[in-house]
């Protein structure tokens, strides 16, 4: 048992522990995306569409460049996804009133319904995991994930509806 001068355990910082953490992230992320992926496969959409829907739902009226920053893809890549969502009537794009260059993005009713279907499935898995692990574990979960983010993404994360 490794002990610091102060007496706290450092067992959790061994390479073996760190590898377990890495593997946990890998396998958990698979579970995390599995349910929405199954639903998306039945429609003609992919994970990229889900991500766009999620963040537009979360920040209605967000601009394209804001979304680019959050998603970390090129505008060509985002545009392809956005194009299909708009054409299919899931997303509405509105020219900015103040700055006419910007496009503000909103979900239509149809888009909201689809977002709900996807996030219901994803939240169900998250809820089950939270319930199984308990509130204290959930707090630790969030703390470690937050510490793992790149600083600029952490800012985005914290600004998304100051809900904590």
Work out whether 159 is an interface residue with a second copy (CB under 8 A): no
Q: Which of 120, 143, 144 minimizes the C-alpha distance to 24?
A: 144
Minimal distance in Å, beta carbon 164 to DNA? 28
Structure tokens at 119: 């996030």
Spatial distance between the Cα atoms of 12 and 81, rounded to a whole number of angstroms: 41
Taking CB under 8 A as the criterion, the residue among 2, 3, 9, 74 binding a second copy is 9
Task: Give the footprint of DNA on this chain (CB under 7 A).
Answer: 44-49, 63-66, 68, 72-83, 93, 95-96, 98-103
Query: Contacts with a second copy: how many residues (CB under 8 A)?
Result: 65
Q: Which is nearer to DNA, 103 or 154 (CB)?
A: 103
Q: Which is nearer to a second copy, 95 or 127 (CB)?
A: 127
* H/E stretch holding 103: strand 103-107
Q: Which is nearer to DNA, 86 or 126 (CB)?
A: 86
Q: Which residue's structure tokens are 């009713």?
A: 109
Structure tokens at 118: 């996807």
Phi and psi (nearest 5°) for 7? 110, -5
Structure tokens at 115: 């977002």
Which string of DSSP letters, residue by residue, matches 9-64?
B-GGGSHHHHHHHHHHHHHHHHHHHHHHHHHHHHTT--HHHHHHHHHHHHSTTEEH
Q: Which does 45 bind (CB under 5 to 8 A by kind): DNA, a second copy, none?
A: DNA
Kindly state the DSSP code that residue 99 receives in the 8-state scheme.
Answer: S
Binding mask 91-130 for a second copy (x = CB under 8 A): ----------------------------x--xx-xxxxxx
Residues that bind a second copy (CB under 8 A): 8-9, 11-13, 15-32, 34, 51, 54, 58, 72, 119, 122-123, 125-150, 153-154, 156-157, 160-161, 163-164
């Amino acid at each position: 048992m490794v002990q610091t001068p102060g007496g706290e355990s450092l067992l959790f910082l061994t390479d073996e522990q760190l590898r377990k953490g890495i593997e946990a992230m890998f396998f958990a992320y698979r579970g995390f995306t599995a349910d929405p992926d199954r639903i998306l496969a039945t429609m003609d959409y992919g994970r990229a569409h889900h991500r766009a829907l999620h963040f537009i739902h979360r920040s209605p009226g967000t601009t394209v460049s804001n979304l680019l920053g959050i998603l970390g893809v090129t505008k060509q890549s985002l545009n392809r996804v956005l194009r299909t969502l708009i054409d299919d009537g899931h997303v509405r794009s509105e020219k900015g009133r103040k700055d006419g260059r910007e496009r503000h993005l909103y979900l239509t009713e149809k888009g909201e319904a689809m977002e709900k279907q996807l996030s219901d499935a994803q939240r169900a898995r998250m809820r089950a995991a939270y319930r199984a692990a308990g509130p204290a574990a959930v707090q630790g979960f969030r703390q470690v994930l937050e510490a793992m983010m790149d600083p600029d993404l952490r800012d985005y994360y914290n600004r998304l509806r100051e809900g904590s």
